[in-house]
Amino acid sequence: MIIIFVLFSSLVYGQEWVTPIIEGYGKIKYSKNIAVQPDHNLEYKIVYKITTSETREGINKGLNGIAHAINMLGCKNILKDDVKIVATIQGPATYIVLTDEAHKKKYGKKNPNTEVIDLLTQYGVKLFVCSQATAYKKIGVSEINQNITEALSGSSVLLNYQLNGYALMQ
């Protein structure tokens, strides 16, 4: 009986974690036999609101979620040209935008998000930080990762992109 359970479990849960597009981040388990797969007929226009300082797999949970979505779409060979992703970083998440130097000065270590930020921007993700949040947290322009752009506010990013057909992910 135990052998049957082990064999069944390995068949059902045997898929490996993969990161086909954003290597090392946003791991997924893919199965072609699961419902509601990414659709090649769609253009994926997504805006993320990243407000949490919570981590997953050693990086910010919101950035990990973006990498996860890109990897999920990549498993179905959705073309990069059909994926448009924007994110606003604000509130408690604001400190993830710090350069390695600024992060080290504040926390005593390099920013664990720097590599995934680089990979996401290389893919084409547009990352914005709320300038209201950076002002409130006293983060200077020179302390912001070069791959992240200051926006007037997180709300302005969300409003503009949603009104232009982007789906909101939180």
Q: What is the CATH number of the domain that holds 142?
A: 3.40.1260.10
Quickly count: other Cβ atoms within 10 Å of residue 162's Cβ. Answer: 13
By percentage, how much of the chain surpasses pLDDT 90?
87
Q: What is the pLDDT of residue 14?
A: 56
Task: Specify the range with the lowest mean pLDDT, choosing from 26-40, 115-129, 154-168.
Answer: 26-40
According to DSSP, the residues that pair with 167 across neighbouring strands are 46
86, part of any domain:
yes
Rounded distance, CA 169 to CA 68, Å?
Answer: 12
Mean per-residue pLDDT of the chain: 92
9, part of any domain:
no
34, part of any domain:
no
7, part of any domain:
no
> Where in the sequence is the domain holding 81, given as residue range(s)?
43-169
Mean pLDDT computed over 98-120: 98
Q: Dihedral of CA 117/70/50/26: which sign?
A: negative
20, part of any domain:
no
* Domains held by the chain: number: 1
For the segment 60-108, what is each residue's pLDDT rounded down to a tens digit? 999 999 999 999 999 999 999 999 999 999 999 999 999 999 999 999 9
37, part of any domain:
no
Q: What is the pLDDT of residue 125?
A: 98
53, part of any domain:
yes
Helix (H, G, I), strand (E, B) or coil at 130: strand
14, part of any domain:
no
Answer for the pair 62, 24: CB distance below 8 angstroms, yes or no.
no
